[in-house]
Every structure is written in structure tokens, then in C-alpha cells.
Amino acid sequence: MTSGRDCMFCPTTGALLKVDDLTGEATCPLSGWSRSLEDMNGYKVVSRTNMEEYRRRYDLEPLVKEVKREDAMLEQQGRARATVQETCPQCGAKEMSFYTRQLRSADEGQTIFIECMACTYKRQENS
């Protein structure tokens, strides 16, 4: 007797059977072997997976990676910044630094992060 999972595959090639409701058969696209859909009645197939399993199986990188706090701090320190002659609204310093990141979709402008070098006041603008 075959298990519920085995009934979905060709016993010759191991390929997934293609179900055709019009003919009432499940056919292997490689070998042509077929089985009546009536033979498959009563089978219940349950499959469970999670994202970690899926990524591992297909060797995928996550879209958003977790960053350790230490790594994030090192990244911020190494970020290239430019300066602009703008008065800080909090402490009155005459110069502020800024950097940009593409946070929204590619057809929209970048986000500009502006920070006071004296008091670390921060703000962001969308360009």
C-alpha cells in the first residue's frame, strides 16, 4: 500500500504527477505513467515547513538580516558623512553632518539623515 505522499509521484521517475480533471487521471509528464484520480480518493497530504527550513532548502539569504548591536555601532562609526553649514535647532552649532540611505522603493528619493556633531540632535528628511 502506498502512503498519501507516494500517490502524488510517479513510481518510475519520481516526478510529481500532473492532475487532469477532464480525463480523471494523474499523469507523469516524463514517462506518461498514469493513475486514476479515483485511486487517490481518501488520501490526505499534510506538509509543514517554516521559513528557516525553506531558506536552508533553497539556499536563500533573508531579506532583512539581524544585526548585532556592536556591529550596528561599528557600521555607524564607519559611515561616510558630509557636513553642511546649517544651524542646529537644539544647540545652535553652525555645522551638521549628514548621510543618505535608500529606504523607500527605487523610484522614490533617498532619506537624508542629519545629525549635529556637537549635541547629537538628529532628524531625517525625504528627498
What is the distance between the alpha carbons of residues 70 and 12, in angstroms, rounded to a whole number?
Answer: 55
Report the amino acid identity of residue 14: G
10 is in an annotated binding site: no
Give the single-character DSSP code of 29.
Answer: T
Q: Is 116 annotated as a binding residue?
A: yes
Q: Are 26 and 20 in contact (CB under 8 A)?
A: yes
7 is in an annotated binding site: no
Q: How many CB atoms lie under 10 A from the CB of residue 122?
A: 11
Ligand-binding annotation for 28, yes or no, is no
Q: Which residues contact residue 116 at a Cβ distance below 8 angstroms, ignoring those fewer than 6 apart? A: 88, 90, 91, 93, 96, 97, 122
Binding-site positions for Zn(2+) read 88, 91, 116, 119
Residues marked as binding? 88, 91, 116, 119
